[in-house]
Amino acid sequence: MTPEREQELLKKLADAVVNYDEDMAREGANEAIAEGMEPRKAIFDGLVVGMQECGRLYEIQEYFVPELLMCADAMYAGLDLLRPLLQKDDSKPRGQVVMGVVQGDVHDIGKNIVKMMFDAAGFTVHDLGRDVPLEKFVEEQIKTDSEIVALSAMMTTTMLGMRSIIKMIRERNPKAKIMIGGAPVSEQIASMFGADGYAKDATNALKDAIAMISSLKDM
């Protein structure tokens, strides 16, 4: 495949998501498969790029929740065709992640985009949703023995709950890795709260998670 054709296909996949066009997403995915594009590339440089653009459009209030949901449907339409091929070359799940938006906070768009990326990358995701009681994160981590707990908050007031969750998880399972993200979160706050990682965006979250899982598997 020529570099021009590759870019054309990736753009088609991204545009399909932004334009919430499920048929175009399936068509793009089928073309990518037929022309031998690596499924991981089609997912992350095509579909996920589109989903990140949808997140940006939502932030600047050009898109609202109904559009985002349709964008997600288009992304999953392409993902459903590409993911089975991904699993052939990544036979074991990458790891398990418990994720949710902390108690008192209902802003879950960022968390949902991160969830899609983990999903696409072959992680098993235990999504607790939004406004999640602090103890629930601890219980779910123990129940599933997930290697990573990802906490999200969009407000400074709810962000403070992250510190309590991290402390509780550390007491029960010091080996679990904890990642935090959301608008008010910074690297300094992650360090102050005792988190292992801070995700300023979905791509960063995924890279951090893969590094965390690798370090755990090497132990």
Backbone angles phi, psi at 216, to 5 degrees: -65, -40
**What pLDDT score does 130 carry?**
94
Q: Which burial class, exposed, middle or buried, applies to 73 when counting CB atoms under 10 A from its CB (0-12, 13-18, 19+)? A: middle
Residue 130 token pair: 């939004």
pLDDT tens track for 41-70: 998 899 988 988 887 887 788 988 788 889
Q: Count CB-CB contacts under 10 A for residue 75.
A: 29
Residue 91 has pLDDT above 80, yes or no: no
Question: 96-218 in CATH: which number?
Answer: 3.40.50.280
Give the C-alpha distances (Å, rounded to integers) separating 45 from 34, 50, 54, 127, 150. Answer: 17, 8, 14, 24, 23
| Token pair 């072959």 in the structure block, residue | 122
Give me 186's structure tokens: 């910074």
- Residue 110: predicted pLDDT: 79
Over residues 61-84, mean pLDDT = 88
**Res. 98 pLDDT band, cuts 50 70 90:** very high
Domain 3-89 fold: 1.10.1240
pLDDT mean across residues, the chain: 88
- pLDDT band with cut points at 50, 70 and 90 for residue 178: very high
Confidence of residue 203 (pLDDT cuts 50, 70, 90): low
Helix, strand, or coil (residue 14): helix
Q: What is the pTM of this model?
A: 0.72
Q: Which residues contact 87 (CB under 8 A, 6 or more apart)?
A: 122
| Confidence (pLDDT) at 219 | 45
Kindly list the domain boundaries of the chain, sorted by start residue: 3-89, 96-218
208 band by pLDDT with thresholds 50, 70 and 90: confident
* CA angle (72, 4, 77) in 5-degree steps: 20
Q: Say what the pLDDT of residue 161 is.
A: 94
Would you state the structure tokens that stand for residue 40, as one six-digit string?
Answer: 């991981």
Note whether 117 and 203 are within 8 A (CB): yes
By three-state DSSP, how is residue 97 classified?
strand
SS3 content of the chain, % helix, strand, coil (to 5): 65, 10, 25
For the record, the structure tokens of 116 come out as 């899609």
| Helix-helix angle 48-59:202-218, to 10 degrees | 130
Distance CA 75, CA 117 (A): 11
pLDDT for residue 202 is more than 90: no
For the chain, give the percent of residues with pLDDT over 90.
54
Res 163 pLDDT > 80: yes
Res. 177 pLDDT band, cuts 50 70 90: very high
Q: Are 81 and 26 in contact (CB under 8 A)?
A: yes
